[in-house]
């Protein structure tokens, strides 16, 4: 049964042998990439490790295919002749796949985003989980998996929140007109100074920004490490609110004074 010819002199045994060889080579590739991941775990960035491991897997697959082609009596020169026609057919049939693949290769080498970056791609805000050859996957902050074709990633607008090591955020804080704005600013400066992750340099700024209809508006600008800015933003805003209130400096409600043209007479 194993000697049964399947096509042009290729027996079932040779087909099975080819599958086995391909499997062994792919498994060796996987083992090498797994070992590489273990070895480089603490020594290189996650992005570099994942890219290297993918390259090893693809190279193993390519070698496997090259090795089994002669066993399967597939003539490479025949491929070259038929290649042109096949390429045109495949080109038309899989235009978007090829386009995604090429975009994927450019993404891996140009690296506008990396694994674990916080990004906004095409309105999808989240953490980059993987950059594959055809698509990029993102885990949004509410835990949803989003797969974006690489062509869209490459040609679209990417906002990478971790590309720079630090970023600035700001608050607008309104206080009552009767409150001491100097004291309020001093309190805010002390709280920023106390917070370990609010950066010393670039220096934070606190100043009177506007004399509004109901309040004196203070502007507070703080630089923070890009990885932690949101946590700091939440923590500091609450601390500022509580500490200002403890010092009898309050955020006023919107106020409007109404004056009557004629005073109403009081009834006795």
Contact (Cβ atoms closer than 8 angstroms) between residue 138 and residue 146 = yes
Considering the complex, state which of residue 167 and residue 173 has its C-beta at the smaller distance from other proteins.
167
CB closer to other proteins, 175 vs 192? 192
- To other proteins, the closest distance from the beta carbon of 196 in angstroms equals 4
Report the interface residues with other proteins, using CB under 8 A: 42-44, 163-167, 194, 196-197, 199-202, 223, 225, 227-228
| Closest to 22 measured CA to CA, from 56, 75, 61 | 61
Closest distance of CB 104 from other proteins, Å: 26
Site of tokens 């409600």: 253
User: Nearer Cβ to other proteins, position 1 or 165?
Assistant: 165
- Nearest distance, CB of residue 43 and other proteins, angstroms: 6
Nearer to other proteins, 77 or 201 (CB): 201
Q: Tell me how far, at minimum, the Cβ of 90 lies from other proteins, in Å.
A: 41
CB of 199 to other proteins, least distance (A): 5
Contact 119, 154 (CB under 8 A): no
Closer by beta carbon to other proteins, 216 or else 229: 229
> Phi/psi of residue 54, each to 5°?
-65, -45
Is residue 229 within 8 Å of 172, Cβ to Cβ?
Answer: no
DSSP state of 8: T
- Cβ atoms within 10 Å, residue 193: 11
N- to C-terminal Cα separation, the chain:
119
């Amino acid at each position: 049964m194993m000697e049964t010819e399947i096509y042009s002199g290729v027996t079932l045994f040779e087909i099975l042998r080819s599958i086995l060889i391909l499997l062994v080579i792919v498994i060796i590739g996987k083992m090498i990439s797994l070992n590489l991941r273990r070895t480089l775990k603490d020594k290189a960035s996650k992005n570099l490790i994942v890219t290297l491991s993918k390259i090893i897997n693809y190279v193993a697959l390519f070698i496997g295919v090259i090795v089994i082609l002669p066993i399967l009596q597939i003539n490479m020169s025949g491929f070259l002749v038929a290649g042109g026609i096949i390429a045109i057919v495949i080109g038309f049939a899989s235009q978007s796949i090829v386009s995604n693949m090429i975009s994927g290769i450019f993404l891996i080498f140009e690296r506008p985003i990396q694994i674990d970056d916080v990004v906004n791609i095409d309105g999808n805000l989240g953490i980059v989980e993987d950059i594959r050859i055809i698509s990029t996957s993102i885990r949004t902050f509410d835990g949803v998996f989003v797969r974006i074709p690489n062509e869209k990633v490459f040609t679209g607008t990417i906002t990478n929140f971790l590309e720079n090591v630090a970023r600035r955020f700001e608050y607008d804080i309104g206080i009552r007109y009767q409150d001491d704005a100097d004291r309020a600013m001093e309190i805010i400066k002390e709280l920023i100074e106390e917070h370990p992750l609010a950066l010393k340099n670039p220096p934070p700024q606190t100043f009177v920004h506007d004399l509004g209809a109901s309040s004196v508006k203070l502007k507070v600008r703080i630089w923070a490490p890009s990885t932690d800015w949101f946590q700091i933003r939440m923590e500091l805003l609450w601390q500022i609110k509580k500490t200002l209130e403890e010092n009898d400096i309050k955020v006023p409600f919107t106020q409007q004074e109404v004056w009557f043209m004629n005073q109403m007479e009081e009834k006795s």
